[in-house]
Every structure is written in C-alpha cells, then in structure tokens.
Amino acid sequence: MVGWPDRRWLDLVGTEQPIVQAPMAGAGGVELCIAAIEGGALGSLPCGMLSPEQVRAQVAEVRAGTDRPFNLNFFCHRMPDGVGDAAWRELLRPYYEEFGVQPSNGGAMRLPFDAAMAEVVEEVRPAVVSFHFGLPEPSLLDRVKATGAIVIGNATTVEEALWLDERGVHAVIAQGFEAGGHSGRFLGSDPAEALGLFALVPQAADAVRIPVIAAGGIGDARGIAAAFTLGASGVEIGTAYLHCPEAGISDAHRRKLREGRTVFTNLLSGGLARGVHGRLIDDLGPIRPEAPRYPLASAALAPIRAAAEKRCEFGFGPMWAGQAAPLGQALPAAELTRQLGADALAILGRAG
Ligand SMILES: Cc1cc2nc3c(=O)[nH]c(=O)nc-3n(C[C@H](O)[C@H](O)[C@H](O)COP(=O)(O)O)c2cc1C
C-alpha cells in the first residue's frame, strides 16, 4: 500500500503532509510558516504575543506568500489576580544591579484569547485555529467554530484529551513532556506525573474519537513513523524547525540546540516550559517558588533580558527546545518538510 496509513487528519485539513509546523511564539513567524506550507505542511502563526493589529498584518503577509491553509494559534490561560512578585524581584536584584537596570514591568506579555481576537478570526477566517492551555470560554469558542475553522486543542493527559473532545474540537494534539516550549497542561495534573509521548499517544488515540496529532520530541522521520505506529494520524513538530534558516532565533540558541541539554523551567514565564540551559537557569536552578504564576514572571525579567541581549548574553530570555533538539538538520523549512514526509513513508514501507 502506498501513502499514509491513517488519513484522518489529512482528510480533515487537506494538506499534502500530515505535519503541523508548530506555532512558536518569539521563534517562528511569517517566513517559517510560508516555507513549511510550501513543503506541504500546515504552517502556523503564533498569535499569543501579538496584538489584533499585528495578527491582521501577519495574516496578510502569509496570504501574499501562499493561498494554502494555515493555522492561527492562541493561548487560553487565565490571568492570575493579585499575585505579588516582590520575592521574585528580590531574587533578581543582583542582576538589576549587574546590568544597571530598574525593575519595571515591560516586555511583550502572553495574553489569553479574548473578544478582540475572536473578531480578528471572524474577519480573516483561517482554515485552522489551535489553542494552548485549554479552550476559550464557550461563547468565544462558538464564535471561532461558527467561522468554519478546524479547531485544535492541546492535551498533556488522557483526561485533557477527553475534555477537549467533549467540547467539540476537531482534532487533539497529544503533547508529551519531551516537547519544547510550554507544557499546555490545563486541568491541574501534577507536573511530576507528566507523560512522555510513547505513553500518551496510544492512550489518547484509544480514548477519543477525533484525530490525534503527536507533539514532542519528534526530531526526524523515525519519530513520525513511530507516532503513526502508536495511533497518531498527524504530527506537530517545533524544535526541528528551529534549525531552519527561516526560524528567528539567536545564534546562541541555535548553537545550544546541538548540545541537547534541555530542562523544564518556570523561571522565564512562571509556567512550566522546556528549554536549553542558560545563565539564569544555571545560577538559580530551573524551578523556583519565587517566580510568580504564568505569565507574570517574564515582566520583572524583561529589563534584565533587554540589557543582557544588548551585550549578546541570551541566558535571561526563553531558549525553548525539545528533547530531540540535536536530531534536527539545518535545511530550508520547505525542503525539511518534504524530506521528513518522504523518509517517514519509506520507514513505514508505504513510499510510492
Ligand atoms: C521555541 C518554541 C516556542 C513555542 N511556542 C508555542 C506557542 O506559541 N504556542 C503553542 O501552542 N506552542 C508553542 N510551543 C510548543 C509547540 O507547539 C509544540 O508542542 C512543541 O514544539 C513540540 O515539541 P518539539 O519542540 O519537541 O517538536 C513552542 C515550542 C518551541 C520549541
């Protein structure tokens, strides 16, 4: 037999390859999205740190580069009320002094999907909308569904996958703990119980009726073939695309991908996210109770990060990466996408 063994995701989304180029706020934008689409993937635009105007402008740029489907990605966290960050600022005091900056609230904050963004979705009508950290409130979700968009949610446990399925998403991302960036956990599971992809995908695929898209630690075609064998009908790949010239990351981040030492940390945003080591993590340890809840920790860090980056020090901002980082190849994203698809089909014994 020739072709993908499970076509449920492909038939729903209509792309050539069952690959979703993961949305990566701060690391991949319009250029990466268009290039991945050119290779046959579903390209994604991360919108979690953009204003509605910026989303409109980036969508126009993507549409100028391709007429194929793309995904707009949003965050759905609840903003914490009344959380102080005095202990966090005190912990950071030596860095304020070292870099000669004042503790101020600055930097682009990650904001949850709201009515203004729902209006943008209604206006630009993307083919796909994906949500991280759960789903927006029902009235906003209904507005997105009414546009006809395919809606995807992110699950880190079987319970989260079922929760999303019950709310009518069209596909679910099963995100293993190998994944780079923020763990999208949203139903309060204990982080110490976080599931790896090999355990999560088959359990999620058994539990839900909708297509499962595997994410986390898929660094090459072997990972794609394994995900299909485990019951996925699509894969979402982030870190492997960071090696591409279209990714907008620092040279320091790019170099560290090759070292492959990643860790879950709460220092850079307050939420649990996987990235490579940098100076802040090495100095303070990856998890600190002083860091205020997601997404507040990044505000007090912003002036330190800005001053450090002026000196070409990148260890005070996120350098997210998944556990398979060293497997990646520095190819243009379109070529990488085509090669991943062709090699995975060959491994599965279904090449044409
Ligand atoms: C640099 C980086 C930034 C990310 N930003 C986002 C984001 O904005 N929205 C989101 O839903 N997921 C984000 N993620 C997580 C990805 O969607 C996905 O779960 C992950 O990349 C899959 O694991 P992998 O990196 O091992 O391929 C990010 C991941 C990375 C590496």
Residues 116 and 173 in one domain: yes
pLDDT in tens, 92-107: 999 999 999 998 766 6
Question: Which regions of 61-103 does DSSP assign to beta strands (E)?
Answer: 70-75
213 within some domain: yes
Residues 92 and 134 in one domain: no
Query: Along the 352 residues of the chain, how does pLDDT read in single tens digits?
Result: 799 999 999 999 999 999 999 999 999 999 999 999 999 999 999 999 999 999 999 999 999 999 999 999 999 998 888 778 999 999 999 999 999 999 876 666 788 999 999 999 999 999 999 999 999 999 999 999 999 999 999 999 999 999 999 999 999 999 999 999 999 999 999 999 999 999 999 999 999 999 999 999 999 999 999 999 999 999 999 999 999 999 999 999 999 999 999 999 999 999 999 999 999 999 999 999 999 999 989 999 999 999 999 999 999 999 999 999 999 999 999 999 999 999 999 999 999 8
Residues 292 and 151 in one domain: no
Residues 28 and 123 in one domain: yes
Residues 178 and 245 in one domain: yes
Domain of 185: which CATH number? 3.20.20.70
Residue 74 CA to ligand 1 center (angstroms) comes to: 12
Among 80, 150, 74, smallest CA distance to 113 is for: 74
Going from the C-alpha of 2 to that of each of 14, 40, 343, 345, 347, the distances in angstroms are 18, 17, 13, 8, 12
Give Cα 248 distance to the centre of its chain: 14
CB 106, CB 299: distance < 8 Å: yes
Q: Is the CB of 134 under 6 A from ligand 1?
A: no
Q: Is the CB of 233 under 6 A from ligand 1?
A: no
Tell me how many domains the chain contains. Answer: 2
Which residue range is the domain that position 272 belongs to?
83-109+261-320
- From CA 295, how far away is CA 287, in angstroms rounded? 15
Q: Is the CB of 271 under 6 A from ligand 1?
A: no
Residues 87 and 71 in one domain: no
- DSSP character for 112? B
256 within some domain: no
Residues 340 and 194 in one domain: yes
Residue 200 CA to ligand 1 center (angstroms) comes to: 17
Name the residue with tokens 């990488």: 336
Residues 24 and 53 in one domain: yes
Instruction: State pTM to two decimals.
Output: 0.97
- From CA 6, how far away is CA 234, in angstroms rounded? 8
Q: Is the CB of 340 under 6 A from ligand 1?
A: no
Residues 103 and 122 in one domain: no
- From CA 158, how far away is CA 195, in angstroms rounded? 10
244 within some domain: yes
